[in-house]
Amino acid sequence: MTIFNRNQLRLNQIRVQDDFDRCSFFHNEIAARMIENIDLMTKKDFKNILELGIIKTAIKHQFTSCQITKTSNFYNKKTNIDIVCDDELLPFKNNVFDLVFSNLNMQFINEIPQFLLQVKEVLKPNGVFIASFFGEENLRELNHAMQLSENEIYGGISPRLPPTIDVKTAAMLLQKSGFKNPVSSLEKIIISYKEPLSLLKDLKNMALGNILCKKSQRFFSGKLLQRLIENYQNLCKNENGEIQAQFEVIIISGQK
């Protein structure tokens, strides 16, 4: 079943490529935590690394002596992409890479089991796979405010939240796909913003727009936006007048 419009994801990423640096701090922070997990998991020296689905690489400074093959959904000469391909269709031979690194991509994969099997095939024996994706409680404050606002404006809510995988299920999927030593962990990051609009701009610049195939065709009106901002501030404003956004990220890893 096709849940996500992968072509829309590609278009979103193309649109934000010039502004991605403004919010790449989040991707870089998650990448750093993933690398810490790798260090705890294995002291293996990696020679060939596959970094999947990037807008901008987040690991080149940590693996300076390695050959890094970078893939993206679109061509961007600024990032020196090696191969343009969709994460759901990896065009590599078997047993090629020591490490496959997927940072905040898996939440938009339609067939997770099939994706994991492809990753396993391209890894060398004892190769490492590590990935991060948003969890089921990601941005719960924003989601709550959006549901309130839509109900008030339209008298109902529309599909905006993608299906999610919890921590236990993520580890089980790795194990079912044949990965050894499957590990999953939960990371929570709270970021303060002066206003909800700043958060919405960051999400847009991270290419995290709604790409559900069954998303509502209702126009996101100025009236809905204003009500969303008001509800978010009423729900989440702290004593300093700022609003907080809690990101929930799951990191999984395993060996072939």
pLDDT value of residue 9? 94
pLDDT value of residue 43? 67
91 burial via Cβ count (<10 Å: 0-12, 13-18, 19+): exposed
Mean pLDDT calculated for residue range 198-208: 93
Q: What is the pLDDT of residues 80-111, one digit of tens each?
A: 789 999 999 999 999 999 999 999 999 999 99
Domains in the chain with CATH codes = 6-255 (3.40.50.150)
Q: What is the pLDDT of residues 215-252, one digit of tens each?
A: 776 777 889 999 999 999 998 888 888 999 999 999 99
Q: What is the pLDDT of residues 20-76, one digit of tens each?
A: 888 889 999 999 999 999 988 776 789 999 999 999 889 988 888 889 999 999 987
Mean pLDDT calculated for residue range 183-205: 94
18 burial via Cβ count (<10 Å: 0-12, 13-18, 19+): exposed
